[in-house]
Amino acid sequence: MEDVLQSINWAVIAPLIIIQLILVIVALIDWAKVKNTNGPKWLWLIIIIFINIIGPILYFLIGRRQQ
């Protein structure tokens, strides 16, 4: 197991993990503040949490109701 962790190129993986965390946190904060979304609000929560990087992006592009 240690050999696998040492062989990972963290210079490539770390920025992706950070971007994913930022997207999820910002999407969840926005999701909590918005009263209405395009589609069921609970479904967008599941999409944001369980679909990596693409889930939060889909929420911002499709899920948010434009005022």
Q: Per-residue pLDDT tens for 7-64?
A: 888 888 899 999 999 999 999 999 999 988 988 999 999 999 999 889 999 999 998 8
19/5 Cα distance (integer angstroms) = 20
**Taking the CB of residue 44, how many other CB atoms lie within 10 A of it?**
23
Whole-model pTM above 0.85?
A: no
**Res. 67 pLDDT band, cuts 50 70 90:** low
- The radius of gyration computed from the CA coordinates of the chain, to the nearest angstrom, equals 15
pLDDT digits (tens, 9 = 90+) for 50-66: 998 899 999 999 988 76
- Of 19, 20, 61, give the one whose Cα is nearest residue 44: 61
Q: What tokens appear for 25 in the block?
A: 């946190």
Contact 60, 33 (CB under 8 A): no
